[in-house]
Chains A and B, each alone.
Chain A
Amino acid sequence: MFEYAPAPESRALVTFQSSYGHFIGGKFTKPSNTYQTISPSTEQVLAEISTASAKDVDMAVKAARSAYEKVWSKLSGAERGKYLYRIARIIQERARELAIAETLNNGKPIKETRDADIPLVAAWFFYYAGWADKLDYAGFGVNPKAHGVAAQVIPWNFPLMMLAWKIAPALAAGNTVVLKPAETTPLTALLFAEICQQAGLPDGVVNIITGFGQTGADLIAHKDVNKVAFTGSTGVGRLIAKQIAGTNKKVTLELGGKAANIVFDDAPLDQAVEGIINGIFFNQGHVCCAGSRLLVQESIQDELMKKLKRRMETLKLGDPLDKNTDIGAINSKVQLDKITKLVKLGVKEGGEAWAPNCEIPKKGFWYAPTVITGVAATNTVAREEIFGPVLSVLTFRTPAEAVAKANNTPFGLSAGIWTEKGSRILKVADQLNAGVIWANTFNQFDPASPFGGFKESGYGREGGRHGLLAYLKGDN
């Protein structure tokens, strides 16, 4: 194996303020009730972040309502679209800075933020900008109406990308928003607030408030919110679905997953190995659609596992700012503890865990890429979302068994199929209960392509025309 010289990206491009308030009505409030946000790879403090109280939430919703009534709902779609195009361009201009900021606050490798997260953020705004003056063609008839104020709560795994998935379609459809980023990764959302200022976006159209779960709950419960969009755990999604019962609020939920990545005996094995690696180790496995259950046809298990382990030996874990790093830091101590606990349980229940021998940095939160073999369908690591770089391996003999095992989960977000046989791909794809199916590829995302789950992985779609509909009122 080659040794790589360190190739760190300079962090000089990014300056964080020492403390941040909320972004409400186009201005930052005075920081209050602050907590520290850190870099999970070094545990270094990056900035002080405010915790929004119910009063702050109310202020933000009022600002969004006022902007909706007085400005945004009166603008033509074409003008709204132009603001979104401006935002897309500024994101492209500041792409490297945003990538570094994201890597610092989240812990994911710079090659991912630089090549995946941030380009997708710009693409998302560019895509939905073009919808703003074409809503008549969205599918709800002529002149469909926006909901009004959208409350959006997003997770820490793709902080700015999740923001883009939420804000771009909401604004294109004519809504105004109050968005709460995750408590551990607020910084790129706050940089985005500056971008809104640079774009001259009317005050109050986008409001960003920071804080913990209570802030999110207060926001979703606010009486003057018309639309709720949440990405996060199934547990919280369930609470939200209960919380909004009996209201007129519309809701979309993007929740957990336990995707099967199915490898048939005729699959192109080297490509499949790359797909498996990408499926579970991309973003340290902090991906709701991660291919966390490898279903491999029994006859090729030994050969595939040999190739997979050999490939895992070459993964580079370490400084996320290093351009050669494949696996960065786990986002938080809490998440690291959860992963550790679940893997231990997986071994206790009969699985065999294996990880390449990689050096773990002394500071920060890290977990070596891990594969657990000999996993039964009833084992915890085959049923629960680990949300870390941990792959559970199960086997099957026939396509029917593969489908039955793949569908044997309350989740239904994504799945992978690896085979050279086109007719098999089409049949298996038909039978899998999952919202996104990657055949001979994995973890592809695009603003034109709807994303979202079946069953307990949530409801509604993000991306594409379908994603736009979630932010418009349907006719009956």
Chain B
Amino acid sequence: MRLDVKKTYKLFIGGKFPRSESGHTYELTNPKGEFVANVVLASRKDARDAVVAARAAQPGWEGATAYNRGQVLYRIAEMLEGRREQFVAEIRELTGATEIQANKEVVAAIDSWVWHAGWSDKVDSVAGSMNPVAGPFFNISTNQPTGVVAAFAPQKSSLVGLVNTIAPIIVTGNAVVVVASESLPLSAITLTEVLATSDLPGGVVNVLTGKEKDLSPWLASHQDVNAVDLEGTSDPVDLEIRAAETLKRVIRPGAFSRSGSLGSLQQILAFMEVKTVWHPKGH
């Protein structure tokens, strides 16, 4: 009989797979209480490293053409489709879901990537404008990514909630540091293997596993984070107050549904800034 080669579950920061600098892990069990894996318990230093990686990657990702970003997101869907069985198995192992249930979640996640991919080069057509000002001026409003976002994936979803958290942030050129569900982190970690093979530049998505409560105060008050998505947090009021110190954009829990294959344009726009440019017309 051959012994399985088991996977070491690690973090995903700057396109690499480090262990926590703290060396801490926590034990993950299935609904029957049986051991599944030791998962990295990310420290606040890991969170800071992830923000640095996100900041470094963001301008290049924003500077990529919308067509290119759309293709990368579509590529993520392709890679996820190819690994569908692995995700289904992991979801079933950790949650006890039936094959049909688990498959439904993975399919929704794949389709959500496809839905979001198509938005990259359409956001400004729908949400930008040429403004008819009362004077001889060219005046245009476009949307620009906010920058670096710290996001907390929903706690009760393995994959689709995470995808519906990451995709609307990165499709327009933001970079994200996302904290996975504490009890359901396996899909998040496996998703990083998909991301790493999808032509997504390292650092655009950084995934931390561990305790939301340990990480969220540091990310919400981090000076170099522009927006926080508080969906999967347990004390959002405290975090909103911390975020207010640097006037971060705050997405309160429950603001958007994250369980389906269709996202929300408003969620995409929540991580964008409207920029208006004026120029005289003359001569």
**Contact A440–B129 (Cβ < 8 Å):** no
Known: A439-B279, A441-B279, A441-B280. A446 touches B134 (CB 8 A): yes
Kindly state whether residue B274 has any CB partner on chain A within 8 Å: yes
Identify which of residues 389-439 in chain A touch chain B, using a CB-to-CB cut-off of 8 Å: 410, 412, 425, 429-430, 433-439
Kindly state whether residue B23 has any CB partner on chain A within 8 Å: no
State the Cβ distance, A335 to closest chain B Cβ, in Å.
23
Known: A444-B137, A448-B131, A449-B139. A459 touches B247 (CB 8 A): yes
B135 CB contacts on chain A under 8 angstroms = 444, 446
Kindly state whether residue B97 has any CB partner on chain A within 8 Å: no
A436 CB contacts on chain B under 8 angstroms = 275-278
Contact check: which of B133, B273, B279 meets A435 at CB < 8 Å?
Answer: B273
* Bound: A438/B277 CA distance, A: 6
**Contact B279–A246 (Cβ < 8 Å):** no
Known: A245-B241, A437-B275. A448 touches B133 (CB 8 A): yes
Identify which of residues 116-145 in chain B touch chain A, using a CB-to-CB cut-off of 8 Å: 126-127, 129, 131-135, 137, 139, 141, 144
A435 CB contacts on chain B under 8 angstroms = 273-276
**Contact A255–B247 (Cβ < 8 Å):** yes
Chain A: interface size category: 35 or more
Kindly state whether residue B257 has any CB partner on chain A within 8 Å: yes
State the Cβ distance, B11 to closest chain A Cβ, in Å.
28
* Bound: A452/B249 CA distance, A: 14
**Contact B133–A449 (Cβ < 8 Å):** yes
B237 CB contacts on chain A under 8 angstroms = 245-246
Residue of A nearest to B141 (CB): A450
Kindly state whether residue B90 has any CB partner on chain A within 8 Å: no
Kindly state whether residue B246 has any CB partner on chain A within 8 Å: yes
Contact check: which of B132, B267, B277 meets A439 at CB < 8 Å?
Answer: B277
Binds B, one of A234-242, A336-344, A358-366: A234-242
Kindly state whether residue B236 has any CB partner on chain A within 8 Å: yes
For A123, A454, A465, the residue with the greatest tally of chain B CB atoms inside 10 Å of its CB is: A454
**Contact B240–A253 (Cβ < 8 Å):** no
Contact check: which of A245, A448, A455 meets B247 at CB < 8 Å?
Answer: A455
State the Cβ distance, A383 to closest chain B Cβ, in Å.
15
Known: A238-B247, A241-B244, A246-B240. A451 touches B277 (CB 8 A): no
For A237, A238, A255, A466, the residue with the greatest tally of chain B CB atoms inside 10 Å of its CB is: A466
Identify which of residues 154-186 in chain A touch chain B, using a CB-to-CB cut-off of 8 Å: none
State the Cβ distance, B261 to closest chain A Cβ, in Å.
15
Kindly state whether residue B245 has any CB partner on chain A within 8 Å: yes
**Contact A448–B276 (Cβ < 8 Å):** no
Kindly state whether residue B264 has any CB partner on chain A within 8 Å: yes
Residue of B nearest to A476 (CB): B256
Kindly state whether residue B64 has any CB partner on chain A within 8 Å: no
B264 CB contacts on chain A under 8 angstroms = 475-476
**Contact A237–B280 (Cβ < 8 Å):** no
Identify which of residues 240-283 in chain B touch chain A, using a CB-to-CB cut-off of 8 Å: 240-241, 243-247, 249-250, 255-257, 264, 266-267, 273-280
Kindly state whether residue B226 has any CB partner on chain A within 8 Å: yes
Known: A410-B246, A464-B129, A465-B129. A450 touches B276 (CB 8 A): yes
Identify which of residues 145-183 in chain B touch chain A, using a CB-to-CB cut-off of 8 Å: 146-147
State the Cβ distance, A136 to closest chain B Cβ, in Å.
15
* Bound: A435/B143 CA distance, A: 10
Leading 6 A-B pairs by shortest Cβ distance: A241-B244, A246-B237, A245-B240, A446-B133, A242-B244, A448-B131
Q: What are 27 A-B contacts with C-beta separation under 8 Å?
A: A241-B244, A242-B241, A246-B237, A429-B275, A433-B144, A433-B147, A435-B274, A435-B276, A436-B275, A436-B277, A437-B275, A437-B276, A437-B278, A441-B278, A444-B135, A444-B137, A444-B278, A448-B131, A448-B132, A450-B131, A454-B275, A455-B226, A458-B247, A461-B274, A466-B274, A475-B266, A476-B267
A246-B237, A449-B141 known; 18 new pairs, CB 8 Å cut-off, are: A123-B134, A234-B247, A242-B241, A242-B244, A246-B236, A425-B279, A435-B273, A436-B275, A437-B275, A441-B280, A446-B133, A448-B132, A448-B134, A454-B146, A455-B226, A455-B246, A466-B141, A476-B255
